[in-house]
Structure formats: structure tokens, C-alpha cells
Amino acid sequence: MPSLKEIKGRIGSVKSTLKITSAMKLVASAKLRKAQTAIENMLPYEQGLHRILAEVGARGPLAEARAASGKVALVAFASNSSLCGGFNANAIRETKARVKELTEEGKEVTVIAVGRRIADSLAKAGYPSAADLTRLSAKPEYDGAKELAESLRSGFESGEYERVELIYNHFVSAATQKVTREQYLPMVPAAETQAQEENPPIVEPSKEEVLEALLPKVLNLKIYTVLLDSAAAEHAARTVAMQTATDNGDKVLQELTLEYNKGRQQKITSEILDLVGGQQES
């Protein structure tokens, strides 16, 4: 049985840990509110661009399949740090599973990891990231997203990649994050509405010129939206993880405090009995 001194030391250690987890929860909650606002403000804009594509009704070259090169680019998003529950593990597991599927299909996979944790894990598995994009995981930014999107688009247009896929944690709610895999290139054509088919819109100067200007913006924005989505999911996962850790720490603290009080009571009782016994002997 541990001594009272050891139990007291454990109590102090748990209290120190609780201060850290509580502080981390507050920080993660603040970051979550900011990230959630950013993604909620961005989604209507992205959806608006897709509606325009649907109304124009033309697919464009970026929606057309390329000749099979046997090479697929897999862009996987996670975080640079841990202590966020299963956030990183889920993205890593999904990415490794997809790499295995593509390899078994005879495809050569190029992994582009956004986030230090997933980059390190995939490198150990034999799939080092083609680029260091840890900065985008730490701080999502449009310029960095545009740079990545242009690189992927260039690889697709040149025929280096026959397909580009994205894997990331989608923010559903503060308590739920869903691992998502999407095809990025070739673009999945926007659904054309019945009204558009019956009454084709008048497009000036031409559908081709509108698409030439619009499609790159849609692709740039998609990468930026995924960065914001993944960031919101990360902060939500860390908030929940730190809350869980704090709750568990409180339970351990209560148990240790009870054990300490019982031990102290037993010690006092024993000392009283010794004192009484000594007085009776005298």
C-alpha cells in the first residue's frame, strides 16, 4: 500500500495535469469557434461557385479523364501535433488503406501529406510526402492552398497524374468528425438542373471562357475549404479529448483524495490507540 507521502505526491501531479488539460481545452475551444466561423462563412461561397458551374452546364477539360498514367496523387490532411483524440489516427488509417487499394490495382501512388503527424507516419510506412506542407496545417491560408492546387492541376494537365484524391477529417459538429475521401481531379461535373436544360442560360463571352476563368478558382477554393474544414475538425477533436482527460483526471483526483483521507484517518486512529495503550500500561 502506498504511503501518505506518495499519495500526496500523486495528488499534486494530477492537479498539475488538470491545470494543463483545462487550459488546453479553453485554447482549443477558442480556436474551434474561430475555425467554425471561417468554414461556415466559406461554404456558401464555394457552393455558389458550384451552382454557377451547374448553370453554365459545360464540363471543361479539368472534368475530362486523362489517359491512364498509372499514377495517382493522394493528398492527405491531418495536424502537426497530437492530443486530439483519434483525429490523426483516423486520417492515417484511411490514407494507408487507400494506398493499399491503389497499389493492389497496379497504381503508383504519390502521397502529399499536409500535417507533420501524417507525414511522419506515412514516411515510416514507405510513402514519404512529395512536399513539406506542415505550415498549411498549422495555419490555413489561401495563398498556400492556391499554390498546392496549382501544383496538382499542373500534374493532372500534363498527364503526370491520372487522378487526384483528397483525404481529410470533415467537421460535422463539435462532437463529430468524419473521415472523408473525395475525388479532386478530374472534377466531378456539377449536376445540371432541369430548368437549365429547358432554358439554357445566356453566357457571355462564352461558356469556354467562363470555365477557363472559373474552374481554377473552384479548385483553389476547394483546397482552402478542406484546410479550414480539417482545422475545425482538429480543434473540435482536441476540445473533446481535453474535456475527457479533465473528467478522467477529476475522477482520479477524487479517488486519491479519498484514499489519502482514509490513510490519514487510519494513522490518527492508530496513534490514538498507541497513546491510550501506553497510558493504560503505566
Instruction: Inform me whether the pLDDT recorded for 192 exceeds 60.
Output: no
Mean per-residue pLDDT over the chain, rounded? 87
Main-chain dihedrals φ then ψ at residue 176, nearest 5 degrees: -135, 130
- State residue 65's pLDDT score: 74
| Residue indicated by cell numbers 488546453 | 24
**Residue 87: which pLDDT band, with cuts at 50, 70 and 90?**
very high
Instruction: Inform me whether the pLDDT recorded for 151 exceeds 70.
Output: yes
Q: Which residues pair with 83 in a beta bridge?
A: none
H helix runs in the chain, sequence order = 4-56, 87-104, 116-124, 134-138, 142-157, 194-198, 207-281
- For residue range 14-39, list pLDDT tens digits in order: 999 999 999 999 999 999 999 999 99
254: number of Cβ within 10 Å: 11
Instruction: Inform me whether the pLDDT recorded for 190 exceeds 60.
Output: no
Q: How far apart are CA 210 and CA 129, in angstroms?
A: 34
- State residue 196's pLDDT score: 47
Instruction: Inform me whether the pLDDT recorded for 81 exceeds 70.
Output: yes
- State residue 199's pLDDT score: 58
Instruction: Inform me whether the pLDDT recorded for 206 exceeds 80.
Output: no
Pair 140, 49: CB distance under 8 Å = no
- State residue 194's pLDDT score: 41
Q: State the average pLDDT over residues 178-182.
A: 96
Q: How far apart are CA 101 and CA 37, in angstroms?
A: 36
Domains of the chain with CATH codes: 25-240 (3.40.1380.10)
Q: State the average pLDDT over residues 124-150.
A: 93
Q: Which residues pair with 127 in a beta bridge?
A: none
- State residue 108's pLDDT score: 94
Main-chain dihedrals φ then ψ at residue 54, nearest 5 degrees: -65, -40
Least reliable range by pLDDT among 24-38, 97-111, 125-139, 204-218: 204-218
Give the type of residue at 231.
Answer: A
The residues, any chain, with a CB within 8 Å of residue 131's CB and separated by 6 or more, are: 112, 148, 151
- For residue range 223-261, list pLDDT tens digits in order: 999 999 999 999 999 999 999 999 999 999 999 999 989
Instruction: Inform me whether the pLDDT recorded for 198 exceeds 60.
Output: no
The answer, yes or no, to whether the previous bond of 186 is cis (omega within 30 of 0) is yes
**Residue 195: which pLDDT band, with cuts at 50, 70 and 90?**
very low
First to last CA, the chain: 33
Q: State the average pLDDT over residues 125-135.
A: 91
Instruction: Inform me whether the pLDDT recorded for 96 exceeds 80.
Output: yes
* Angle at CA of residue 115, ends 242 and 47, nearest 5°: 90
% residues pLDDT > 90 (the chain):
62
- State residue 144's pLDDT score: 95
Pair 63, 213: CB distance under 8 Å = no
- State residue 279's pLDDT score: 61
To the nearest 10°, report the CA torsion of 12, 18, 20, 25.
Answer: 180
Instruction: Inform me whether the pLDDT recorded for 67 exceeds 80.
Output: no
